[in-house]
Amino acid sequence: MKSTLNALSLAVLGAASSFTFADEVPASPFGLSFSGSAALTSDYRYRGITQAFNDPAIQAGFLLSHESGLYAGVWGSNVDFGGPAHLELDPYVGYTTTLENFASKPVVDVGLWYYGYPSDGDLNWLEGYAKLSFKDVLVKDASLLTAVNYSNDFLGLDTNAWYFNATYSAPFGSTGFGGVASLGYTVTDDYDFGGGDDSYLDWKAGVTYSFASVAGLTAELAAVGTNIDTDGMTHVASRGVETGAVLTLTKTF
C-alpha cells in the first residue's frame, strides 16, 4: 500500500465527504436530538475515487447532537479494495455554531473523523476537519460549503495530507430539482497518486431531485471524477478514478 492507486482506494475510501441528515427534533429534555440517513449508490466515490470497484454500495449514518452545538455520530458503507476490508465504519465528533455577528450568518463546523475498517485495522486513520457554510448564495435557498481537512496519518501511512473542497448547491425554483457542483484538491507530503504526482483534483457536477410524496427522499445523478494520471493502470483501476456517472438515492429521518 505504498504508491499504487489500489493503495489509495484502500484507505482513502473513507466516509463520504459530505453526508446528509434530516432536520433535527429535540428527543429529550437534555437538549439532545437524533437524526440519520440511509443511502443506496451505484458507486461509492470518495474524493473522486471509487471505494468499491465501481460497484453499488449501501450506506447509513446516525447523529446525536446537543443544543450546545456538540455532536457525535457514526457512518458506514460496504467497501471493496481487493483485500480483507469489506466494511467501513467511521465514528466522528464535532462542534457547530452560527456566527451571528456576521450579516451572512455563516455556520462553522469543526471535528474529528476516524476512518475505521474492522477487518483490516492497518487501514485506520484519523482526520480533522473545519467547514464554513453560507446560505442564500447568489439565489434563495442556495448554499456554499467550504472545507479544509488535515491528517498526519493519511491512509494509515504516517504522512501528512491536506484536502480542500468547495461545494455549491442550488434549487431550480420550486420544481423539486436542483443542481450541485464541487471541486476538491488533495495534496500530501510524499504519496504518489500516479505519474509521480503527490496531489490531484476531484470534481462532481450533477442534478438532484427531492420527492414531494416521500419526506426526506432525494435522488442525485452526478458526474464524478479526478485528474489522476491513469497511464500504466489496468482498465479496472483507471475506471475507478476517471469521470463516471453516479446515481444515489438517500432517505433522511
Average pLDDT over residues 12-38: 63
- C-beta atoms surrounding 159 within 10 Å: 15
Question: Which domains are seen in the chain, by residue range?
Answer: 5-252 (2.40.160.40)
Which tens digit of pLDDT belongs to each residue from 118-168? Answer: 999 999 999 999 999 999 999 999 999 999 999 999 999 999 999 999 999
Cross-strand partners of 222 = 206, 246
Quick one: pLDDT at residue 29? 67
CA distance 247 to 54: 12
Q: Tell me which amino acid residue 200 is.
A: Y
Average pLDDT over residues 67-84: 97
Determine contact, residues 230/242, Cβ cutoff 8 Å.
yes
CA angle 182, 216, 22 (to 5 degrees): 75
Q: Is the pLDDT of residue 12 over 50?
A: no
Q: Across all residues in the chain, what is the average pLDDT?
A: 90
User: Positive or negative, the Cα torsion across 228, 232, 236, 237?
Assistant: negative
Confidence of residue 28 (pLDDT cuts 50, 70, 90): low
CA distances from 83 to 8, 45, 58, 80, 223 (A): 13, 18, 19, 7, 27
Which residues, 6 or more positions from 101, have their beta carbon under 8 angstroms from its beta carbon? none
What 3-state class would DSSP assign to 195?
coil
Confidence of residue 195 (pLDDT cuts 50, 70, 90): confident
Quick one: pLDDT at residue 171? 97
CA distances from 177 to 80, 168, 220 (A): 32, 14, 10
Q: Is the pLDDT of residue 25 over 90?
A: no
Any idea which of 14-18, 129-133, 170-174, 213-217 has the lowest mean pLDDT?
Answer: 14-18
CB crowding 160-186: b at 16 or more within 10 Å, else e: ebebebebbbbbeeeeeebebebebeb
How would you classify the pairing of strands 217-226 and 57-66?
unpaired
Q: Is the pLDDT of residue 6 over 60?
A: no
> Concatenated DSSP letters for 115-141?
E--TT-GGG-EEEEEEEEEEES-SSTT
CA distance 147 to 132: 6
* pTM score, whole prediction: 0.89
Determine contact, residues 132/106, Cβ cutoff 8 Å.
yes
- The count of residues in the chain is 253
The set of cell numbers assigned to 13 is: 475510501
